[in-house]
Amino acid sequence: MKIIVSVSTLILFSLPLLGQESLLANLEKDSGRTEKITGAFKSTRVINAHSLEMLGKNNLDVRILHRFGRVNLGINQFYGLDIASMRLGFDYGISNNLMVGIGRSTFRKEIDGFIKTRLIQQRSGGINNPLTVLLVAGASVWTEESFATVKPGFSERSAYYVQVIAGRKFNRNFSLQLSPILLQKGMIENPGESQTIFALGGGARYKFNKRCAFTIDYHHPLGGIATDAKDPLSVGLDIETGGHVFQLHFSNAVGMNERAYLTQTTDSFLKGDIRFGFNLSRIFHLGK
- Check if the beta carbon of residue 43 is closer than 8 Å to that of residue 247: yes
Q: Which of these, 192, 92, 184, 203, lies nearest to 141 by C-alpha position?
A: 184
Instruction: Tell which phi-psi region holds residue 81, choosing left (phi > 0), alpha (psi between -120 and 50) or beta.
Output: alpha
Query: Domains of the chain by range and CATH?
Result: 2-285 (2.40.160.40)
Distance CA 268, CA 288 (A): 47
Q: Residue 59: what residue type?
A: N
Sign of the alpha-carbon dihedral angle for 42, 232, 147, 197: negative
Cβ atoms < 10 Å from Cβ of 12: 9
State phi, psi for 85 to the nearest 5 degrees.
Answer: -130, 160
- Check if the beta carbon of residue 238 is closer than 8 Å to that of residue 213: yes
Q: What is the DSSP letter of 50?
A: B
Cβ atoms < 10 Å from Cβ of 71: 16
Q: Which of these, 187, 236, 245, 194, lies nearest to 59 by C-alpha position?
A: 245
Q: Which of these, 186, 178, 177, 180, lies nearest to 163 by C-alpha position?
A: 180
Distance CA 72, CA 37 (A): 41
Q: What is the pLDDT along the chain (288 residues), one digit of tens a residue?
A: 444 444 444 444 444 444 444 444 444 444 557 788 888 998 999 999 999 999 999 999 999 999 998 888 888 888 778 888 999 999 999 999 999 999 999 999 999 999 999 999 999 877 788 999 999 999 999 998 888 888 888 898 999 999 999 999 999 999 999 999 999 998 888 777 889 999 999 999 999 998 899 999 999 999 888 888 899 999 999 998 876 788 999 999 999 999 999 999 999 998 889 999 999 999 999 877
